[in-house]
Amino acid sequence: MILPRTDHPGEFLVFRTTARRRVLALALAVLGTTSLAACTTGPGQDGNRPRASAAPADPAARPDLRRFYGQKLSWRPCGGVQCASLTVPMDYARPGDGRTFVLPLARAATAVKGKRLGSLVLNPGGPGESGVKLVEDGVAEDLGRGVRERFDVVSFDPRGVGRSTPALTCLTGSRAEAEEAAVDEAPLLPRTDAERTAALAGARSQAAACRKASGPLLPHVGTQDAARDLDVLRAALGERRLTYVGWSYGTSLGTSYAEQFPRRVRAMVLDGAVDPSLDWRQRVLGQSTGFRDAVEEYAASCADVVGEGCPGASPEEIRALIDRLLERTRREPLPVDGSEDGLDAAGLVGALSLSMYTPEAQWEGLSEALRAADDGDGTRLAALAAGDEEAPDADAEGDAPDAGGVAEPASDVPEDNSEAALIAVNCLDVPHPRDPRAYWDALAPAREAAGDYGTSGVTSELVCEDWPAGTQRPHRVDAAGVPPVLVVGTTGDPATPYDEAVSLARQFPGGMLLSFDAPGHTGYGRDACVDRKVEAYLVSLTKVRPGTRCAS
């Protein structure tokens, strides 16, 4: 089963975030191309199709890009798949200045001779997720036989991400220095001037660390440039047109590609859709409400998914337990093995939220963690809040590892730099207010709409308050000439709300919507019905009829 991840534990203590900032900053950053510049949506919110515009000049037709577009990939065996590298200009406005990114590629050559249609390019989301790792971890086996027989499965680490060279980092100095410099997190709802000052100082300190460690890269890691890299990859693969699947943030990458290169798309699946017309407050409120509703769905449906392992005999008992733990952790953190800090209310909100992505895989572990917490042990919830896929076994010998207990990397860039990439891409793609009052003004409406999840969503965006500005603004999709794009929307998706999938499908000319009636984040790879519809589209370009739905 494909499990597109948008969550990773921070590698260094300079990123020693509580789960409150982690889960909602991560999920919000997944959404990429939004704006804080205005409090209203972009034009055309009545759902009408975008008007066709004059076709822009081909952004790849410049002579100074020929050496990049003319690359020949040299594939070599590596860990059961094939690897290669792709060189792209760091700055597409100045491609001849000598500065480049070298992007690692991975390919599972699965196409059957005589049946091959080409390459299928994937992006797992994030921003900050490694496409190379996705392929190395065997994603091709999860795509279905029909897709594997017709396509070689390819992915890459986007510019600044994972094993790309250079790569982003927000680590400055040694691990010990990072720990010493770490600041306390803000409460779920910073009310007093002192709490707000501390929250802003922490966010600015984090942003300053990123600028110090990765300053020259920060203006060049946005989604628009990554989409141009995707077209260079298409050419290097020898494909006349691109066949693409993007999950979560990968839908922003795909949308940007379709806008810049509409006539180079063969087939495009956007699963867990991001609506580029929304501004920041709409997105915070929509997503925060999604997480709150997902936790409510957990209480209501736990018995159906987990059975007797639920932490309460009824939905009412589960809700009461969660409320009891929230109140308890607001007063005093729960003890956590191997940690002096314990689990506070922000950590509890984060553990709950991160456990909503894939109910069939996560709710059992969450249930066990909640029962342990009710007995006074926050260790399992702390592990979930740190992004661990499985909570530690309370009966296992030895202490649970500290959330920050990772091996020292061989270089200044950690092996997993997803958090640095996530912040950098989100802050560049999304113009944020420079006045902190804009964030404080948003707290009350967010709390009214989504409680603790709403206020966490607002404060998670503070790190972008003092960041290099990008050029993106909220806008409706402008991709005249693109063939029908398939958008997959999961009705109970907490991270990319279903309404955004509905809106995005309407914005694409000829856009198609496949609805998946289920909780959890994204649909392709989680449900046989969704998989069949997606496969028929990818292989045969079979259209999905209006109103088509799959149910878990």
Q: Decide if 432 contacts 467 (C-beta within 8 A).
A: yes
Q: Decide if 187 contacts 217 (C-beta within 8 A).
A: no
* Secondary structure (DSSP) of 251-277: HHHHHHHHHH-GGGEEEEEEES---TT
End-to-end C-alpha distance for the chain, whole angstroms:
14
Which one from 119, 130, 214, 248 is the annotated catalytic residue?
A: 248
521 is catalytic: yes
Which one from 7, 521, 527, 552 is the annotated catalytic residue?
A: 521
* Secondary structure (DSSP) of 430-454: S---SSTHHHHHHHHHHHHHHHHHH
d(CA 327, CA 331): 7
3-class SS of residue 487: strand
Q: Decide if 454 contacts 446 (C-beta within 8 A).
A: yes
Angstrom CA distances, 122 to 115, 156, 266, 271, stand at: 20, 8, 14, 11
Query: Which positions ≥6 away from 382 have C-beta within 8 Å?
Result: 336, 339, 342, 343, 347, 351, 400, 403
d(CA 39, CA 284): 12
d(CA 306, CA 310): 6
Q: Quick one: which of 351, 341, 337, 417 has its CA closest to 8? A: 417
Which one from 7, 466, 493, 527 is the annotated catalytic residue?
A: 493
493 is catalytic: yes
Q: Quick one: CA torsion of 395, 21, 445, 315, rounded to 10 degrees?
A: -10
Q: Burial letters for 323-353: b for 16+ Cβ neighbours within 10 Å, e otherwise? A: eebbebbeeebbebbebeeebbbbbbbbbbb
Structure tokens at 282: 């709409």
Sign of the Cα torsion 202, 204, 209, 210 reads positive
- What residues act catalytically? 248, 493, 521
